[in-house]
Amino acid sequence: MATKEDIYTKVTPRRQRQNRPGTVKHGSSLDVLLSMGFPKTRALKALVSTGGRNLQAACDWLFSHVDDPFLDDPLPREYVLYLRPSGPLLHQLSTFWQQSRVTCGKNKAHNIFPHITLCQFFMCEDSKVEALNEALQTTVGSWRGRFPNPLPLELYTSSNFIGLFVEEQVAEVIKNFAAEFAAVAAAKADVHVEPHKKQLHVTLAYHFQTNHLAALEKLAKGVDVSVGCDWLAVLFSRDIRFANHETLKVMYPYMPQNEDELELVPGDFIFMSPVEQGSASEGWVYGTSLGTGLSGLLPENYVGRADECDTWVFHGSHSFLNPTSHSIVGGAVGGLLFDGQLDGRFLDDTGDSSSLNAMCPPVQMQRPSVQSCLPKRSLFVCRHGERMDVVFGKHWITQCFDPKGRYFRSNLNMLPTLPARTGGFRDYDKDCPITVFGSTQARLVGEALLDSHTTINFVYCSPSLRCVQTAHNILRGLQQEGKTKIRVEPGLFEWTKWVSGTSLPAWISPTDLAAASLSVDTAYRPHIPVSKLTVSESYDTYISRSFQVTKEILSDCKTLGNTVLIVAHASSLEACTRQMQGLSPQNSKDFVQVVRKIPYLGFCAAEEIGETGVWQLVDPPILPLTHGPNHSFNWRETLQQD
């Protein structure tokens, strides 16, 4: 088969001269792909997965998915029909989107652009998507002059929802349009479309914190619904296999160290199912790449949360007012695709756009004042530093232990020495150390605490080696190494459900940790000994254990010192503080979402309200620590080439 470059040279330029981008018909593109030797099912899937933009996009998709195990799967995509505002009303909604996100943070409404839902998601075979687009164009054409304009919208608010509802009589007219589209689509594309039966509305905010209601309602009242708007009928699709998955966006590149790991390319999206996470250990998740279709393990701190619609494919947009407007055909709403992509933008009928990223910039962290006085009783909870198995892969041991179990350093980011283990070096499989950079991260946090004039009276940490090493280096930065001893508390270990295998890690004893020059208190007797921990404990048991041990730690230290530092896991920042605030535990799904956002050395602070035993989260006395990964570099492979 010819190379990709040969194909583009012979085919793409000629066809792109004949057709404006976004107007290539599936028929002509399909014929070319078939003449290139691609099977029809693959060619159709490529055209549909790229929104039918152009031949080059389809070719790129096929080449990137050459190893996709589901490439020949005939499973259809899911489609949905929305009404999307354009013009002045869109700008009003864009302003609300931006202000609400800055003022109150992201809520569930931000996951999808402003819209009115006209039908439920429905399936359509790849071979009939062009007919489905024609059905929409035909229906919109027959409704020009009949579609209600303007749409009367009325603001509605409740304790957890804010939206603009279409007046009931007008809503019935719009539902008639949706029903007619369903009938035409059934005749032309042989699909079953279920029109939306609920009240038609534009969601402004939902699933937000109760204390944000007043601010959001005030912003919503500022939306002028009387301004002009051309409502566009838009068609989107999504991969049905990942409809209930969490969507993550790749922030940093990662090259696999082992066969079961996934290569990460910045800008790609990852689909992650909670059901598949049993095969992943702390610091790793299991996901499938949008860009390649491949699945595998990946380090969780290399990806970030994305919006639900970021990977949807845009298939067409039709105006009810402008009969000369053509169907805008494009690719993913916010995905990897090229020209024609929306990239999280709200296109109007002229093709102009306003970026969702511009509308909703990330909330800026406020610099805490280092001069602020800490309360009399403070609790700090901190995640451990960068761990060895995330940087060098699950099987990192094979890179730095010889057959006799002797450790050697094969990378500058590996510690010069590691503590000896009575059970042998294989115990590192479940109890890995931090990296050199992890030590540096921890020391930076300690130095920042020192600069803020913070003194730590007590340090408690999980028995995991990475946590002990992190606590030790924080104390080094604080210049309290040797002065303040680390109390190793098994009750602070992470949720044991996340431990792979049928047994807990064989942790290094406090005596052996002290012998390895770590500042550990060998006389400390834990509140929850190792013998009380069970494998695969329930979520409720883990939350209860974390709450119990935190209360007992604070009770022990009440009359002896002002400030307690807990160094443990990402989950500890939530599990050790939420109930201390008098709040009920979150459900396990929401808990996991919070945990995934906690980076290495993620740090939170709480203070007691008077002497009530109730605590509240406050600004930490230090700045946040942000950093990026540094991929492996081999000068021979990169520079010494023939």
- Residue of 42, 487, 569, 578 marked catalytic: 569
Active site residue 569: yes
At residue 428, what are phi and psi to the nearest 5 degrees?
A: -70, -15
Angle between helices 26-35 and 55-64 (to 10 degrees): 50
Which region, left, alpha or beta, applies to residue 204 given φ > 0 means left and ψ of -120 to 50 means alpha? Answer: alpha
The whole-angstrom separation of Cα 394 and Cα 319 is: 53
The whole-angstrom separation of Cα 152 and Cα 208 is: 26
At residue 381, what are phi and psi to the nearest 5 degrees?
A: -125, 130
**Beta carbons within 10 angstroms of residue 157's beta carbon:** 16
- Residue of 318, 345, 384, 487 marked catalytic: 384
- Residue of 383, 443, 545, 596 marked catalytic: 383
Could you tell me which of 112, 120, 622 has the C-alpha nearest to residue 372?
A: 622
Active site residue 26: no
* Cα separation values, 20 from 17, 386, 425, Å: 7, 49, 63
DSSP letters of 527-561?
SS-GGG--TT--HHHHHHHHHHHHHHHHHHTTTT-
Q: Show the beta-strand stretches assigned E in 451-568.
A: 458-461, 486-488, 563-568
Could you tell me which of 121, 84, 108 has the C-alpha nearest to residue 160?
A: 108
Beta carbons of 298 and 261 less than 8 angstroms apart: yes
Number of residues written out for the chain: 642
The whole-angstrom separation of Cα 551 and Cα 532 is: 17
Active site residue 326: no
At residue 434, what are phi and psi to the nearest 5 degrees?
A: -85, 170
Q: Catalytic amino acids?
A: 383-384, 569
